[in-house]
Amino acid sequence: MSHHHHEPESVLSLRVRALESLLVEKKLVASEAVDRIVSAYEEDIGPHNGAKVVARAWVDPAYKQRLLADGTEAIEELGFGGVDLRVVENTPGVHNLVVCTLCSCYPHALIGLPPTWYKSFEYRSRAVREPRVVLREFGVELPESTEIRIWDSSAELRYLVLPERPAGTENLREAELAELVTRDAMIGVAVVQPPTPAAR
């Protein structure tokens, strides 16, 4: 009996530790923004909160400055608190890509629930190893001269990509701009497309 007891117990303790780390992840998600996520999903599924943040940054240079300097504080201005956030800006020379190599940390409060591929081991490993290839598979073809920066999201700090504002949107209002901003663009696996003529 005592002989049998030992091994199962160490297996058990391994399991407990595995479960514990899972629970930490779940709990972080829950404590942060479950209510906000639920209501965002119920009321707000199209124009994500993150898209509003991006659109504001596009139309308000002072807000953009605050957003890049301190994402956490700047999103609170728009009523999206509860997440420590760093916002990284795409420019013609720099493309940012967000991944969580450890699990799947993600700014839920701003962009909802992570897509399945974001949580996959394949994305988590390949985004770091061969980001240019991964981006190409997502349909984003970057010039060789564009630097790709990978940001490893964690339970403590989440990242949001501020995509480039597409050309030809000078006359759009903030709310119209927000409609162009996709979840994938805020992860960095897509660029924001200008509105199609049909949608105008």
Shorter beta-carbon distance to Fe ion: residue 58 or 118:
118
Shorter beta-carbon distance to Fe ion: residue 69 or 102:
102
Minimum Å gap between C-beta 34 and Fe ion is 17
* Per-residue DSSP letter, 193: P
Minimum Å gap between C-beta 142 and Fe ion is 25
Q: Which of 2, 21, 31, 100 is catalytic?
A: 100
Q: How far apart are the C-alpha atoms of 113 and 123, rounded to whole Å? A: 16
Minimum Å gap between C-beta 131 and Fe ion is 18
**Are residues 180 and 169 in contact, defined by beta-carbon separation less than 8 angstroms?**
yes
Rg (CA), the chain: 19
The residues that touch Fe ion, with contacts defined as CB under 5 A, are: 100, 102-103, 105
Minimum Å gap between C-beta 63 and Fe ion is 28
Decide if 125 is catalytic: no
> Token pair for residue 132?
């240019």
Decide if 104 is catalytic: yes
Decide if 10 is catalytic: no
Shorter beta-carbon distance to Fe ion: residue 22 or 102:
102
Decide if 21 is catalytic: no
Shorter beta-carbon distance to Fe ion: residue 14 or 102:
102
Q: Which of 105, 125, 145, 153 is catalytic?
A: 105
Q: How far apart are the C-alpha atoms of 92 and 164, rounded to whole Å? A: 8
Q: How far apart are the C-alpha atoms of 52 and 112, rounded to whole Å? A: 13
Which residues have a Cβ under 8 Å from the Cβ of 89 and sit 6 or more positions away? 64, 68, 96, 161, 162
Active site residue ranges: 100, 103-105
